[in-house]
């Protein structure tokens, strides 16, 4: 691998991009208001589709170690991955706070190619659905002194040539100007499923199981719990209702949709006429049922 002098690369200051919530802390996930449904309910129309995993994800290749400068006292590069199908470059890394706390989001990084072209990270809905081991959010994650967290950032970058030099800039994390990588360290995959299985094998396997169809007892239990009930979360302007077994109705930011749902091990898979959404659910103490509309529909984390 060709060594490159960092002194040849200009250092650019990172401009933070504020999200719709001014880059603040993540809104409260809980608090979706549950209600009983009236007997008559109107059927609404389609909504954007998060990515869905396949039934089985084969392993493509193992993750080798990185060379050049891939680690500082605050940030360690876990891997660079490209999904050839979507043209998305995944930058996966671990941040460790030093003596002072750090606040990190997943939308404020830049990659500089050969000291010239600059690419800004951007949130792509559903891009990290199969990477649950990595935080992928527009909202700030707070790390206390000594605490570590794993993060994913996504970039739309055209295919890079062998030996091209990459620098990574993120003002929220000290010393990122010391990182020096090359395009040779990017591992490319034909599908995001294979990419996820290489980058986060345990997380990908667990998430795939959560998206598999549930057993008969779980299906009956969930049907009984949600039938003729609705959940509302005002922070994302969302309401989902289940007027009858197997049917859902959704209103998201004033747009209505409806269709059938399937009970999976950790999700309700809601299939509309032109899209599919995955709504996480959990059971708590005393058989309490929680439907996570925030994770499913907030554009900063979905």
| Residue whose pair of structure tokens reads 């059938």 in the numeric block | 260
The answer to whether 165 and 182 have CB atoms below 8 angstroms apart is yes
Sequence-ordered list of residues with C-beta below 8 angstroms from that of 217, at least 6 positions apart, any chain: none
Output the pLDDT for position 16: 29
Percentage above 90 pLDDT, the chain: 73
- pLDDT mean over 181-199: 96
H/E element, 6: none
Is the pLDDT confidence value at 61 over 60? no
| CA 100/CA 96 separation, integer angstroms | 10
> 142: which 2 tokens?
């707070």
**Residues 204-215: tens digit of each pLDDT:** 999 999 999 999
Output the pLDDT for position 1: 41
Question: How do strand 289-291 and strand 276-283 relate by DSSP bridges?
Answer: antiparallel
Reported as half-sphere exposure (CB side, CA atoms, 13 A), residue 131 has a value of: 30
Percentage above 70 pLDDT, the chain: 79
User: pTM (2 decimals)?
Assistant: 0.78
| CA 14/CA 9 separation, integer angstroms | 15
Q: Is 23 helix (H, G, I), strand (E, B) or coil?
A: coil
- Band (176; pLDDT cuts 50, 70, 90): very high
- Band (33; pLDDT cuts 50, 70, 90): confident
- Band (31; pLDDT cuts 50, 70, 90): low
Is the pLDDT confidence value at 2 over 70? no
Rg of the chain over all Cα atoms, to the nearest angstrom: 21
Among 29-38, 39-48, 120-129, 283-292, which range has the highest average pLDDT? Answer: 120-129
The answer to whether 176 and 170 have CB atoms below 8 angstroms apart is yes
- Band (85; pLDDT cuts 50, 70, 90): very high
Which of the pair, 250 or 56, is modelled with greater confidence? Answer: 250
Q: Is 75 helix (H, G, I), strand (E, B) or coil?
A: strand
Output the pLDDT for position 37: 67
Domains and CATH numbers, the chain: 33-52+213-297 (no CATH), 63-209 (2.60.40)
Output the pLDDT for position 286: 81
> 181: which 2 tokens?
């990588």
**Beta carbons within 10 angstroms of residue 226's beta carbon:** 23
Output the pLDDT for position 52: 44
Output the pLDDT for position 183: 96
């Amino acid at each position: 691998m060709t060594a490159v002098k960092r002194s040849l690369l200009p250092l650019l200051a990172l401009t933070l991009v504020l999200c719709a919530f001014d880059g603040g802390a993540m809104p409260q996930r809980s608090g979706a208001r549950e209600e009983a449904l009236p007997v008559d309910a109107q059927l609404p129309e389609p909504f954007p589709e998060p990515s869905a995993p396949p039934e089985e994800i084969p392993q493509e290749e193992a993750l080798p170690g990185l060379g050049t400068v891939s680690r500082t006292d605050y940030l360690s590069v876990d891997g660079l991955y490209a999904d050839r199908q979507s043209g998305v470059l995944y930058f996966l890394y671990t941040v460790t706070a030093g003596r002072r706390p750090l606040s990190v989001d997943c939308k404020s990084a830049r990659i500089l190619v050969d000291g010239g072209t600059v690419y800004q990270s951007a949130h792509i809905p559903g891009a990290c659905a199969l990477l649950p081991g990595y935080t992928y959010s527009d909202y700030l994650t707070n790390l206390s002194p000594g605490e570590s967290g794993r993060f994913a950032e996504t970039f739309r970058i055209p295919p890079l040539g062998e030996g091209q030099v990459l620098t990574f800039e993120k003002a929220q994390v000290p010393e990122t100007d010391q990182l020096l990588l090359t395009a040779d360290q990017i591992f490319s995959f034909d599908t995001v499923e294979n990419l996820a299985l290489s980058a986060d094998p345990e997380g990908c396997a667990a998430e795939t199981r959560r998206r598999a169809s549930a057993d008969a007892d779980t299906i009956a239990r969930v049907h009984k719990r949600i039938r003729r009930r609705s959940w509302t979360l005002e922070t994302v302007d969302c309401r989902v209702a289940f007027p009858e077994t197997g049917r859902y109705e959704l209103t998201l930011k004033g747009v209505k949709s409806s269709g059938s749902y399937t009970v999976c091990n950790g999700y309700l898979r809601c299939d509309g006429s032109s899209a599919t959404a995955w709504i996480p659910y959990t059971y708590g103490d005393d058989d309490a049922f929680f439907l996570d509309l925030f994770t499913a529909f907030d554009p900063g984390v979905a």
